[in-house]
Amino acid sequence: MPDAPPRPEPFAQQTAPAVLEDLRARLRATRWPDAPEDAGWALGTDLAYLRELVAYWAQEFDWPAREAALARLPRFRVPLRGLGTHFVHVRASAPAGPVLPLVLGHGWPDSFWRYTKVVPLLTDPGAHGADPADAFDVVVPDMPGYGHSDRPIGPAPDAVAVAGLWADLMSVLGYTRFGVAGGDLGSHVSRYLALDHPDRVVAVHRMDAGLPVFTGDPADLTPEERTWLEGAARWGAAEGAYAAMHRTKPQTAAFGLTDSPAGLAAWIVEKLRAWSDCDGDVERSFTKDEILTNITLYWLTGTIGSSMRMYRANAAIPAAQHARRVEVPSGFSLFPGDVVRPPRAWLERTANVVRVSEPARGGHFAPFEEPELYAEELRAFFRPYRSAATG
């Protein structure tokens, strides 16, 4: 007899008080580095801001309350290809037409946290001033080595492999055809879902096109594309040290970041600030509680090392994979505060583009920074493809 399909089991988390006391003790015992006078954020995370954040984490941050808020989302775990996979699954509430299943892909440094604000806007649009006909069934998985999904024992899976896991997950949930959306690493995963499962993906929405990989003749590129590639290279030289570490020696950084909550906070909050549409003030995009919810998830699950190792796996993806063109209908929302924004010519070179928009606000973490804008982007893009998932 064939093996029975895996069955999702409800997931609930309740952190033991002793674990939180250990965290607070470590925070209180932080050994602080020096910093040049008036360095601010120019050399990395600002010392004065991190002292403030760590003091709040140790003395005021209410993790049990944040944990209870996260528990209001229906969450599950299921074994996929030998890896326990954690995901949020919320069905449409009071739909007024065909319901489109939608899988949302997160990136680094986050997890399902990225979409916690946007899930209710997508599953119950009528309750939030939008058209009930735009309701989705929403699935938000944690990638292997992130959040509450298992940390792989062997090499981390790359974006191609994760796309295959998400196709399996949607089968387990009974969805034959579905939409896909994502940003950052989740954009790569979404791309490979569309490339490798075009019979199942009705349309794909992405917030970026990733950092460019081009092995052809530069003369074949438009001037705008050449300018973009040059700009991306400059960004990598100035801002890409974290990614070089992740790609090459992630285990070295993992020792310190897994042992020191202050170090972990420094590694993550600098990116929340640099990549969001906050004009240099991270708390314009995220409250301290929101920042620390994301960081505490990393701390409690011990996943900073495993999350970084995915960069090494992705760096080994063959160039031929990067050269493939997505033929599934593709949409892009390019938020103004994101790090590297591609020109239309590059998008059309790499995908069957049917819609490109430039929202007025938001950055790399737009689903969290501007959930209403992001939800409307997805509603507008996927509206013509709803019947394709049920027809």
pLDDT tens by residue, the chain, 391 residues: 457 788 999 999 999 999 999 999 999 999 999 999 999 999 999 999 999 999 999 999 999 999 999 999 999 999 999 999 999 999 999 787 889 999 999 999 999 999 999 999 999 999 999 999 999 999 999 999 999 999 999 999 999 999 999 999 999 999 999 999 999 999 999 999 999 999 999 999 999 998 888 888 888 899 999 998 889 899 899 999 999 999 999 999 999 999 999 999 999 999 999 999 999 999 999 999 999 999 999 999 999 999 999 999 999 999 899 989 999 999 999 999 998 899 999 999 999 999 999 999 999 999 999 999 999 999 999 999 998 776 5
* pLDDT of 78: 98
* pLDDT of 302: 98
Cα separation, 175 vs 162, whole angstroms: 17
Q: Kindly report the CA angle at 180 between 275 and 389, in degrees rounded to 5?
A: 155
Q: Which CA distances in Å does 94 have to 81, 124, 134, 135?
A: 34, 7, 11, 8
* pLDDT of 285: 97
CA 40 to chain centre: 27
User: 39 in a domain, yes or no?
Assistant: no
User: 189 in a domain, yes or no?
Assistant: yes
The domain tally of the chain equals 1
Q: Which residues neighbour 121 within 8 Å (Cβ) at sequence distance 6 or greater?
A: 128, 130, 371, 372, 375
User: 1 in a domain, yes or no?
Assistant: no
Cα separation, 307 vs 159, whole angstroms: 12
Which secondary structure element, helix H or strand E, spans residue 248, and what is its range? helix 241-248
User: 336 in a domain, yes or no?
Assistant: yes
Which residues constitute the domain of residue 83? 9-31+51-390
For residue 203, the cross-strand partners are 179
CA atoms within 13 A on the CB side of 275: 24
User: 42 in a domain, yes or no?
Assistant: no
pTM for the full predicted model: 0.96
Among 175, 311, 374, 385, which one carries the catalytic annotation? Answer: 311
Cα separation, 158 vs 238, whole angstroms: 25
User: 43 in a domain, yes or no?
Assistant: no
Q: Which amino acid is at 153?
A: I
* pLDDT of 216: 81
Neighbours of 200 (CB within 10 A): 18
Strand order of the β-sheet with 75-80 is: 9-10, 75-80, 83-90, 136-141, 100-105, 178-182, 201-206, 326-333, 351-357
* pLDDT of 324: 93
Is 364 assigned a catalytic role?
yes
User: 287 in a domain, yes or no?
Assistant: yes
* pLDDT of 220: 87
Q: Which amino acid is at 173?
A: L
Biggest CA–CA distance in the chain, Å, is: 70
- Whichever domain contains 271, its CATH number is 3.40.50.1820
Neighbours of 384 (CB within 10 A): 13
Q: Which CA distances in Å does 128 have to 93, 132, 138?
A: 12, 9, 16
Among 115, 142, 364, 374, which one carries the catalytic annotation? Answer: 364
Cα separation, 285 vs 280, whole angstroms: 10
Is 184 assigned a catalytic role?
yes
User: 252 in a domain, yes or no?
Assistant: yes
Among 184, 208, 277, 338, which one carries the catalytic annotation? Answer: 184
